[in-house]
Chain A
Amino acid sequence: MRRLFFIPILAVLGLVPPRAAHSHAEAGARLFPATLTIDDPAVEDEASLPTVMRIRNGATDDNPANRESDLNFEFDKRITERLGIGISDGYTILDQIGDKSLQGWRNVNLTLKYQVYVNEPHEFIASVGVGREIGGTGKTAIGADRYGSTTPTLYFGKGLGDLPIGYFRPFAITGTLGYQLPDQTNAAPNVLNTGLSLQYSLPYLQEQVVDLGLPELVGNLVPVVEFATKNPVTGNGGARTGTISPGLVYTGDTYQVGLEAVIPATSASNTSVGVIGQIHFFLGDLMPKTLGKPLF
């Protein structure tokens, strides 16, 4: 029942009088699509409904090997033009090899993000934020911690469209750098979380560089590869884990659909190639007069 807090939040925000809408993560002519394994640098009105991931985890000292399925939900809302909040949660199913399946909700996560700087001619965005994992709101059997954590984070995005590099102009890079601080320092280490994405925007190629007459299905694609790592930096927090996720994002006017492979980057990560998919809605385009505009 506690998950029903999503419903009154959506209802209240939908009734608040709107201001100017802003539909995508934009810096000048550059649209940064939502990435699947790392957060994008912009503050927007958007929702990922859902993000689905399936990976295989190896056995540990405490747990058998398992196939993990995650169903995640995220909703981001602008308070002002540059300040936004986000809420995310997910449901996990662990099919344990040789043991019973476990399933349950993970801890709720809140994010506060502020877009510090935008340089439109140079297609650059920089933001700062803080994430808060609320401990004890998920099921410990599937790995949700009883204690919470706080993660201050830096975000950036840079398109290469301002450079005289011809067909390389559609490239863009986004990144995140977060430092996770657990509430109970004797139970978990501090963790340095890093993320990087490399994107090539075919819509940008068609609109800004050269119109190749690509069919719409192809011309709206953004090939992307994402890199995400978790690096314990204090205590005996275990090994570094990470993933490399190449895939495609189809960017429509009001939504996008993404599909990526999830490849383990370290021996301590998932043991085989998994998959992640997402349906993402741009609320600024879908609901410009209600959820798609800042509150103030």
Chain B
Amino acid sequence: MRTISLTIAAVLLCLTISGHAEAHARLKAAIPAVGAIVSDAPQQLRLTFSEPVEAGAVVVDVGTSEGMPVGPTRITADPVDPRTIIVTLPTPLPPGTYTVQWSVRSEDDARVKGGYSFQVSR
């Protein structure tokens, strides 16, 4: 049991001296939500991640279900919530199904990516 304790202690020590944890960002919420059907045509998308992200480290591609790109025109950080980025589109989206492909580059240059769709109803 002494050996087990020493081993666990060594691991904990390595965890302690290595610095703070930096979990890679995952998408936690979106507006319009993942898979949602909305009636109001959005001109902005809001993506909230599990960790604070910089707007320059995020790439978001919005397209129609036929694969035609829609935008975005601008990606900015939410001034209130550092975990949220705002995607401003060129025009309010007309009715249809849209796909959002996102990727986030973390501090260690790893890139996490994902995608989802939502619908704008008539």
Contacts and interface: CB of A to CB of B under 8 A. Distances in A.
Band of interface residues on B: 35 or more
Interface string A1-26: 10110110011001000101111101
Nearest to B17: A14
Contacts of B24: 23-24, 253, 284-285
B113 interface: yes
A208 interface: yes
Contacts of A288: 22, 106-108, 110
Interface in A158-178: none
A272 to B, nearest CB: 27
B113 A49 contact: no
Interface in A245-281: 253-254
A289 B20 CA distance: 10
A36 to B, nearest CB: 19
Contacts of B23: 23, 253-254, 282, 285
B6 to A, nearest CB: 6
Given A287-B19, A291-B18, A10 B114 contact: no
B33 A253 contact: no
A22 B111 CA distance: 9
B115 A208 contact: yes
Band of interface residues on A: 35 or more
Nearest to B116: A208
B36 interface: yes
A89 to B, nearest CB: 9
A21 B110 contact: yes
A210 B8 contact: no
B7 interface: yes
A210 B50 contact: no
A10 B26 contact: no
B80 interface: no
Interface in A4-57: 4, 6-7, 10-11, 14, 18, 20-24, 26, 28-29, 47, 49
Given A23-B23, A29-B113, A211-B30, A286 B10 contact: no
A207 B27 contact: yes
A108 interface: no
A107 to B, nearest CB: 16
Contacts of B10: 6-7, 10-11
Interface in B25-83: 26-27, 29-30, 33-36, 50-51
B113 to A, nearest CB: 6
Contacts of B22: 285, 288
Nearest to A47: B11
Interface of A: 1, 3-4, 6-7, 10-11, 14, 18, 20-24, 26, 28-29, 47, 49, 71, 73, 91, 120, 203, 206-211, 213, 253-254, 282, 284-293
27 contacts: A1-B3, A4-B3, A4-B6, A7-B7, A11-B10, A18-B108, A21-B108, A22-B110, A120-B113, A207-B27, A208-B114, A208-B115, A209-B116, A210-B33, A211-B29, A211-B34, A211-B35, A211-B36, A253-B21, A254-B21, A286-B18, A286-B21, A287-B14, A288-B108, A289-B18, A290-B19, A292-B108
